[in-house]
Amino acid sequence: MASAVRLHLSSLLVSHSLLPRLSLRLLPPPPSAAGRPRRFSSALPSAPSAARRASPSPPLRAQAKRGFSSKDDDFASADDLQFEAPLKIVEYPDPGLRANNKRIGTFDDNLRKLADEMFDVMYKTDGIGLSAPQVGINVQLMVFNPIGERGEGEEIVLVNPRIIKYSKKMVSFNEGCLSFPGIYADVQRPEAVKIDSLDISGARFTVSLSGLPARVFQHEFDHLQGIVFSDRMTEQVLDTIRAELEALEKKYEQRTGLPSPERIETRRRRVAVGFGKS
C-alpha cells in the first residue's frame, strides 16, 4: 500500500517566503514503520521553521476574501481559540468532530502557541497531520509534517485552507486517524490537489500537492469540514472496521453517560462527501 504511492511534491507553487523549502524529502516510509502505519492526526514539531522563527508580530486582521464560503463572517473569537496544554485528542463519536469550524481572522501569539501544541501532540502520537477540531478547538487550522519526525521534513501550518483544484486521478491508501485509535482502512481520494491558504502569520499562499502530502492534507481538510475518513469508505471497507467503530461508540457512552451522537449501524450515505470540482 504505502509503497504503491510514489511520494513527491509535484509542481510547487509556493508564493510565500514563509514556505521556502517545501521540497520535502518525501521518501517511502522506512521499513521499520511498515508494520505501524503512520496516522494522519498529530501535531507540529518544534524545529525552528521559518514561520516559527519569525518574531511575534502584532495581531493582524485577515482581509475577508470574496468568494469564500457563505460563512465568511463567522470568524473565531478569542474564546473559540482558548486552549489548555497539553491538548487532548477528541475521539469518534465525539460531536466536536462534526461541529462547524470557524475561520480564523486573528494571527497572534496565541495562534502560534496553539499550532506549536498541535505539533507536539502530533509527534507524540506518531502522526503526520492534525486538525484543530481533533484537539477540541473548532477552527479552520491544521498542521502537518509528512515526515512525521520533529526536526525533519517541513512543518506546515494552514489556516482557512481551501482546495481550488483536484486531480481526476484517484488513488487508494490505507489511512489511520488519531480520532479513531488503532483503526486503519482504505480510502480513495484524488491523487493531487491545489490549495489556497493562509499561513500562521496570515499571509496567503498557493501550493500544489501530490502523493502523501496531498493525502494528508485532504484527510485533515475533511476534518475542518466535519467529515471523517470513515465517511469516505465504501460499505465493503467499512464492514472491515464496523466492530471497532461500534466499540468506540460504546466507549464514548460509558465515559460520558450519554447516548452516542452517531452510530455506524445507521450510517446513511453522506451526499456531502463528494470531492467538488476537478
Active site residues: 220
Cβ-contact 196, 162 below 8 angstroms: yes
Query: Which grid coordinates are listed for 108?
Result: 497572534
Q: Does 177 bind Zn ion (CB under 5 A)?
A: yes
d(CA 215, CA 146): 10
Which segment (105-113, 173-181, 207-215, 251-259) binds Zn ion by CB under 5 A?
173-181
**Span 190-219, contacts to Zn ion by CB under 5 A:** none
Name the closest residue to Zn ion (Cβ). 177
Which segment (35-43, 60-68, 196-204, 230-238) binds Zn ion by CB under 5 A?
35-43
Q: Least Å distance between CB 220 and Zn ion?
A: 7
One of 18, 19, 41, 111 touching Zn ion (CB under 5 A): 41
d(CA 66, CA 72): 8
Q: Report the residue number, 201 or 230, with the smaller CB distance to Zn ion.
A: 230
Q: What angle do CA 214, 219, 225 make, to 5 degrees?
A: 120
Q: Report the residue number, 75 or 184, with the smaller CB distance to Zn ion.
A: 184
d(CA 22, CA 20): 6
Q: Report the residue number, 137 or 177, with the smaller CB distance to Zn ion.
A: 177
H-helix or E-strand spanning residue 204: strand 204-210
Q: Least Å distance between CB 43 and Zn ion?
A: 12
Q: Report the residue number, 177 or 200, with the smaller CB distance to Zn ion.
A: 177
Q: Give the count of residues interacting with Zn ion (CB under 5 A).
A: 3
d(CA 41, CA 223): 10
Q: Least Å distance between CB 118 and Zn ion?
A: 13
Residue with cell 491538548: 87
Reduced to 3 states (helix: H, G, I; strand: E, B; else coil), residue 120 is helix
Chain residues binding Zn ion by CB under 5 A are 40-41, 177
